[in-house]
Structure 1
């Protein structure tokens, strides 16, 4: 059990935002950098820890659970996209009450090619479980899967940030509605019979109910790929009336954790590999003594059913909102150092936040003061319609200062033109990283693959003007475009799109080939090389100024393709200077080096490797430049 008190606005773990003007923030770590591996004999391995939370007398405004993954010490990161659960097992100490409330669901990444220093973190709001996260709590991290456990796994940390203060709504009770794996598409086990209506009795003083749902689809039947790879809808019924309907589906091409070793770009049934699931929340008025709740899945039958919908749904009954006008900053997206916002950062313009209406009245207008620390603030007047409990992502005009304190501040004022009743979460400041600075003349080097119809790019300035572009649908296959860019001083954004969601290369789509995207200076030196395996888009923000950043000697463009082959694969290499390059072909598992090649004074070229003599297996294609690993890609030979 570990408990850490961070007073007021100390810097949070995981490079979190800073809240100013709030009460104390308590950070509690239940699982502290534990090594997590599979148990192949059972398909699941559990790790339970006790943690001490505040007592019932302590008012809690908000609870955020944070999950951090890294490669374990003396092991490599694990391979497969397995299903993990974070569960409250027991409350009230060792003799306390068994609970089994799933508060988080994690899908592990395809980590086979991650380097030993790799790490990533996610977070989810778990304030709805504040009635249970009190006193001594037993928390379980359950890791599923069957892969080997002697040389691979994860280093996992589970922590909670508790923000003290009066909650926007006071919870009264929490009730389990559904909790299990439900067969889907099996006419012998119809899911409608399993997801029966559940009746609940209204608590005294309850004004609002919240249905909190974690749902993911698993299994792959024929011919539809259910439940992992089929797009089906789910209805939420209250008292037999439809309240909401949504597709149980998630697009994965914009996953902030990229690239991964497996099929990370494939859209799935409400999850992606390397993903902490965000719950669906449905709020409704409690207007009578008894109500019924039901979830219903789209009608579906499979001739070979193996699909399952994994659903954990809980009802939390709340008292009425404490205040009429109460708005909060939930998150800062731009600028940010958070891993989950890394596709959009570092940034030069367009500060972006998430706001939430925590008041009883609909929010229709709001004033947002924002700007870099030490500078005059900007005022943005937001208008819209947010019902109680709803959130909105707000992007504002304005530059983000690239020198000085590198701290950006946001303050919410005058919700609905009135005084905010709870100002403790109206002010947030974040530290951020500056964007690179380049010279005015640049060259965008774009080599298309065999599917160029999905690709296009734009360069825009801070006012949103498109200065250069090649529209989607205009590019030619296997063609090199070298566009000269003449830019004045200012802030810019390069966006490279792939509407097919598979980047300029993807190992599974061998026939599509491989393309490249590189930003060069006027002398042809690489200032930025982009990973071709990027999914749906790349966003690169930069500044043009009088003093460009020095050219990094280790800025290299390289890649091997195809990575699934029966015979040949090709390695492309381009660097700013001649380098000593060592290439090793390493068998997986086992780590045996089956080929090794040393190239001295290697600056540019394409190398061919004949792998036809090797048996069916997986290998790592590992590249060292000046004795440092710069590339580690998995090859599938004859698979």
Structure 2
């Protein structure tokens, strides 16, 4: 299940986020800030709608928070515990709706103070047949210390669902040892089922996470696989693994958050696996089972599982696209790494009709600003989804305040015409602008002792302009070395990308305790003094530069000019990159309507060592034969010899 289901229907309660299109919404509160104080079931009675109305979407919003444990125990909100949400109906149905793993959330960590909360949003629309009338919601908290709170509510959005659900069957569930003398497969033996009337497709949903550790670190830290068998034929082969924990949106954490694990990450919702059972329609009798990878250990590990069959009817719409999420710009903490953003918005779209989609016409823009039109072309089959990066939105580059702004995108046409359902065509988000940086700054990086395969430092940084050109970078560095690079940038939107090969940042508190890896850092320095904050990164203390696999930092600059007169009504500027340079330098000129002049390099003694004509916004200078040192780059306009732009360039080979 994708993490991006954030709808502004939630904003009725929380004030910001993304907003789905019109449609009456019924809110149902289950648990309200319940203290999860120890391993236990926490039950509450819920009254859902009576089933007389159809719903386009049903979301479950689980808000995890913290409380200060009475008595000052050793641990309080510190550990990665499994939190499972069950629906229990009066007729005896018990179904797992959702699962998440709590983060390492010590109150001393920078992003998890006592006031911290995080929302985990699940699409539970397919459970509509049982989300009716009176029921019990259960939270199973598998924790041996307290400190967390749980708030659970449901949003029922009226409308037509993508498909009707004809039936739900719970197959296998429970936690089972793996690698023991008794194979785990004995708990997942073949089940015979018959698809109910109206079934057009059948899907197996399997939620599985590995826990515990044996002599091979199975199951939490050892990748294994399972196979889905339909009528003795394999229809799926899936690794029980997540390799993206080092890209967690909640970072840094006060534990081993960045390690890859058996289909879960601390502080993240658990993604179920969905497997279509091909050819299973109404009246078909079939056998389904799960076979695990053969394995022998010493019995210390287990898999926690929940398997359910969903029988779906035919598609309710012929041609329809749904806006499911605004990934950027948004203030939703579940998209923290992608925000704040300048330049181009990013959205998540799904084909919710029976017909393949080849084009979608969008309109998008900020509140009270002109809208932009864009037509996406591609191929999106029924029920497929995709992430679309919309073309550059200039407004995102021009705002630099500390206020909330509203962004809206709308589907206007699908395949050249209005689609079947207008209620899923509009979505809005609230967001903070990308920060404004000076046009000249320093990137200072102290490398640690971890190397890549070539023996260089495994941590790199690059800055990209709006056209995805690299304008500054340090991708080859020695270990345990401080590098200070001067960056000059014209007015525009930029993205700084920091990557770490081992996904443990430039510093991790674990290495401070066990040794073996030195500590590094990366900082942005203002001139003449001062430090600029980086997205999610911490500059000091226990958790400094603990950013896992890396991070992105979007920012804007206003540009600058020196001695410029009457060149343009727009502020003019010149920049040179890479800086420092070794062989070739790109000189970029902005803010001048008609460029016609020369670009020169002047050394520290005032001697002009290179001059060439410049009739476009960029010029490439060959500096391979020039001596190391500081130079001045000067653009001189032919129409006005007194008008000049200049910047500084360091040549260091």
The reply on whether 1:444 has 2:443 as its aligned counterpart is yes
Structure 2 residue aligned with 1:228, among 217, 220, 239?
Answer: 220
* Alpha-carbon distance, 1:396 to partner: 2.2
CA displacement 1:284-330 (0-9 Å, x = unmatched): 4433521222222222222x122212110111112111112121111
Report the Cα offset of residue 8 of structure 1: 8.0
Q: Quickly say closer, same or farther: Cα 1:286–1:263, change in 2 above 3 A.
A: same
Deviations 1:358-391 (A, max 9, x none): 1112333322222222333333332333332222
Structure 1 residue 49 and structure 2 residue 44: aligned?
A: yes
Is the 2:362–2:375 Cα contact (8 Å) retained in structure 1?
A: yes
Task: Go from structure 1 to structure 2 and tell me whether the alpha carbon gap of 1:36 and 1:10 turns closer, same or farther (over 3 Å shift).
Answer: closer
Aligned to 2:566: none
Contact 2:492-2:559 within 8 A present in 1 as well: no
Query: What TM-score does the superposition give when structure 2 sets the normalisation length?
Result: 0.76
Whether contact under 8 Å (1:19, 1:427) holds in the other structure is yes
Gaps (5+ residues) in structure 1?
A: 1-5, 39-43, 548-639
Distance 1:7 1:230 in 2: 39
**1:523 paired residue among 500, 524, 528:** 528
Q: Is 1:465 the equivalent of 2:463?
A: no
Tell me, yes or no, if the aligned pair for 2:36 and 2:148 is still in contact at 8 Å: yes
Indicate how the Cα distance of structure 1 residues 7 and 170 shifts in structure 2: closer, same or farther if over 3 A, else same.
Answer: same
Relative to total residues, which structure has the larger strand share, 1 or 2?
Answer: 1
- Kindly tell me: are residues 416 and 428 of structure 1, through their superposed partners in 2, closer, same or farther at Cα, counting changes over 3 Å? same
Count of matched residue positions in the alignment of Structure 1 and Structure 2: 522
Asked if 2 retains the 8 angstrom alpha-carbon contact of 1:9 and 1:19, the reply is no
Q: 1:14 to 1:276 in 2, by over 3 A?
A: farther
Partner of 1:272: 265
Deviation of 1:346 (Å): 0.7
Give the CA deviation at 1:405.
Answer: 7.4
Q: In the alignment, what sits opposite 1:184?
A: 178
**Would the aligned equivalents of 1:67 and 1:121 in 2 still touch at CA under 8 Å?**
yes
Distance 2:101 2:93 in 1: 23
2:363 aligned with 1:349: no
C-alpha offsets along residues 430-463 of structure 1, whole Å, 9 cap, x if unaligned? Answer: 1111111121111111111111522100111122
Give the conservation status (yes or no) of the 8 Å contact 2:10–2:17.
Answer: no
Structure-2 change in CA distance of 1:31 and 1:405 (3 Å): closer
The 8 Å contact of residues 179 and 311 in structure 1, kept in 2 or not, is answered as yes
1:65 aligned to which of 60, 78, 97: 60
Contact 2:404–2:432 (CA under 8 A) maintained in structure 1: no
In the other structure, the counterpart of 1:100 is 94
Q: Which has the larger radius of gyration?
A: 2
User: Which residue in 1 is equivalent to 2:247?
Assistant: 254
Unaligned residue ranges in structure 2 (runs of 5+)? 1-6, 452-456, 539-544, 561-653
**Match among 373, 382, 385 for residue 379 of structure 1:** 373
**Is structure 2 residue 116 aligned with structure 1 residue 118?**
yes
Native 8 Å contact 1:70 1:77 kept in 2? no
- Equivalent residue runs for 1:95-494 within 5 Å: 96-112=90-106, 113=108, 114-147=112-145, 152-186=146-180, 188-222=181-215, 224-251=216-243, 252-283=245-276, 284-287=278-281, 288-302=283-297, 304-399=298-393, 401=396, 402-403=398-399, 406-452=405-451, 453-471=457-475, 474-494=476-496
Deviation at 1:267, TM superposition (A): 0.3
Distance 2:550 2:9 in 1: 38
CA gap of 1:12–1:393, structure 2 versus 1, over 3 A, is farther
When normalised by structure 1's length, the TM-score is 0.78
The Cα shift of 1:77 comes to 4.4
1:387 and 1:210 mapped to 2: Cα distance? 17
Check whether the contact 1:237–1:293 (CA below 8 A) recurs between aligned residues: yes
Within 5 Å, give how 1:594-613 maps onto structure 2: none
Is the Cα contact below 8 Å between 2:69 and 2:147 reproduced in 1?
no
Contact 1:122 1:339 (8 Å CA) reproduced: no
What SS does the corresponding residue of 1:250 show, helix, strand or coil?
A: coil
Aligned mates of 2:8, 2:347 — CA distance in 1: 24
Q: CA deviation at 1:117?
A: 2.1
